[in-house]
Amino acid sequence: LAKTTQPISMDSYEGQEVNITCSHNNIATNDYITWYQQFPSQGPRFIIQGYKTKVTNEVASLFIPADRKSSTLSLPRVSLSDTAVYYCLFLHGSGNTGKLIFGQGTTLQVKP
């Protein structure tokens, strides 16, 4: 299965925009890029998912270049409550509901 690589940790300050980049050199044609957020002792929370170009929702934006070998999660104007672990994952396309392979994730620390 394809593997993702993302920074282990990042620091930011309240009000700043945070960009977390994930590398996935061997992504498959039918893989969707998915990001989850997880707080301690809670289940991962779905943030955003995309296949190519740019996807935006009320929480974040996801930028995926044409070669799809990387993706960037953008969190606008973070607050202290955005301190969490962020996971970049693949989700196989329709007809093949499969397992999510979690890495270590990126621990984001937002400071006042």
Partner 1 sequence: ETGVTQSPTHLIKTRGQQVTLRCSSQSGHNTVSWYQQALGQGPQFIFQYYREEENGRGNFPPRFSGLQFPNYSSELNVNALELDDSALYLCASSVAGAGEGETQYFGPGTRLLVL
User: Encoding tokens for residue 7?
Assistant: 């920074």
Q: How many residues bind partner 1 (CB under 8 A)?
A: 26
Closest to partner 1 by CB, 16 or 103: 103
**Exactly one of 41, 58, 66, 112 binds partner 1 (CB under 8 A); which one?**
41
DSSP label at 67? Answer: T
In this complex, which beta carbon is closest to partner 1, that of residue 72 or of residue 107?
Answer: 107
Identified binder of partner 1 from the candidate list 29, 43, 58, 66, rule CB under 8 A: 43
Sign (positive or negative) of CA dihedral 110, 34, 72, 24: positive
**Nearest to 2, CA basis, from 72, 64, 63, 89:** 89
Write the CA distances from 88 to 10, 14, 15, 60, 112, integer angstroms: 14, 22, 23, 13, 26
CB of 57 to partner 1, least distance (A): 12
93 near partner 1 (CB under 8 A) = yes
Q: Decide if residue 7 touches partner 1 (CB under 8 A).
A: no
Query: Distance between CA 92 and CA 69 in Å, rounded?
Result: 16
- Residues engaged in binding partner 1 (CB under 8 A): 32, 34, 36, 41-46, 49, 51, 87, 91-95, 97-105
